[in-house]
Chains A and B, each alone.
Chain A
Amino acid sequence: ELKVEQNPLFLSMQEGKNYTIYCNYSTTSDRLYWYRQDPGKSLESLFVLLSNGAVKQEGRLMASLDTKARLSTLHITAAVHDLSATYFCAVDGTDKLIFGTGTRLQVFP
């Protein structure tokens, strides 16, 4: 059964700092998704990574996918308070998404 693990589960970081969230999954998959969820809100799509070596960037967030290592990273550059949210990775598990545990990010001044 496909399992998806994220770490860290909780991340408190100062504005202006850089950090990386890791997403490991247990079986082969070529598709990985990153979502953002604000408290009490729904999931917002951030990135869709469809092949080995895929890299996508949007603002201060950059996501990459290494299918051989079964690893995706979400890198945060020069964090700002607006990035505070919970971030989920999700892997395609044959007609369904298998979500990671989520990483709750808190950015403080």
Chain B
Amino acid sequence: KAGVTQTPRYLIKTRGQQVTLSCSPISGHRSVSWYQQTPGQGLQFLFEYFSETQRNKGNFPGRFSGRQFSNSRSEMNVSTLELGDSALYLCASSLYGTSAQETQYFGPGTRLLVL
């Protein structure tokens, strides 16, 4: 069974630009969560999607948005990039999400560098 895949793996952008990251969950998984990992703030929850609906959202500004498609693939978008958005962005998938007491399986991440 293929794992969680994320594209692109690496990305370099400049301040003010926008970026879209993609995540394909494990086949059959309907929940996709996104996390931001930085040396200073650690791992922080961005949002979770389940069956194309955002089910939960972390404490991030509105520049961070996401969506989920009918095939459970998810994208997150960051507009008006800031230097502080440089991070490793991880997505995780599971059948029904953490509320179902399941393990979340993480993808390899997208490393974003904002210059």
From 84 to 101 in chain A, residues with beta carbon under 8 angstroms from any chain B beta carbon are 88, 90, 92-101
Q: Mark A34-65, 1 if CB is under 8 A from B, else 0.
A: 01000001111100101000000000000000
Interface size counted on chain B using CB atoms at 8 A = 24
Taken together as a complex, chains A and B put the C-alpha atoms of A97 and B45 apart, in Å, by 7
Residues of B within 8 Å of A44, CB to CB, are 106
Across the interface, do A42 and B107 meet the contact criterion of CB distance under 8 Å? yes
Whether, in the assembled complex, B98 has its beta carbon less than 8 Å from a beta carbon of chain A, the answer is yes
Residues of B within 8 Å of A50, CB to CB, are 101
Residues of B within 8 Å of A41, CB to CB, are 108
Across the interface, do A96 and B56 meet the contact criterion of CB distance under 8 Å? yes
Which listed residue, A33, A42, A96, touches B90 by the CB 8 Å rule? A42
Which listed residue, A43, A45, A102, touches B42 by the CB 8 Å rule? A102
Whether, in the assembled complex, A70 has its beta carbon less than 8 Å from a beta carbon of chain B, the answer is no
Question: What is the size category of the interface that chain A forms with chain B?
Answer: 20 to 34
Given A95-B56, A97-B45, also A42-B106 (CB < 8 A): yes
Residues of A within 8 Å of B101, CB to CB, are 31, 48, 50, 92
Interface of B is mostly: strand
Whether, in the assembled complex, B51 has its beta carbon less than 8 Å from a beta carbon of chain A, the answer is no
Residues of B within 8 Å of A92, CB to CB, are 98-99, 101
Taken together as a complex, chains A and B put the C-alpha atoms of A90 and B103 apart, in Å, by 11
Which listed residue, A42, A45, A48, A90, touches B109 by the CB 8 Å rule? A42
From 38 to 97 in chain B, residues with beta carbon under 8 angstroms from any chain A beta carbon are 42-45, 48, 55-56, 58, 90, 92, 97
Across the interface, do A43 and B33 meet the contact criterion of CB distance under 8 Å? no
Residues of B within 8 Å of A100, CB to CB, are 42
Taken together as a complex, chains A and B put the C-alpha atoms of A99 and B35 apart, in Å, by 10
Whether, in the assembled complex, B104 has its beta carbon less than 8 Å from a beta carbon of chain A, the answer is yes
Across the interface, do B98 and A43 meet the contact criterion of CB distance under 8 Å? no
Which listed residue, B33, B103, B107, touches A96 by the CB 8 Å rule? B33
> What's the minimum C-beta distance from B44 to chain A, rounded to whole angstroms?
8
Across the interface, do A99 and B43 meet the contact criterion of CB distance under 8 Å? yes
Interface residues of A (CB under 8 A from B): 31, 33, 35, 41-45, 48, 50, 88, 90, 92-102
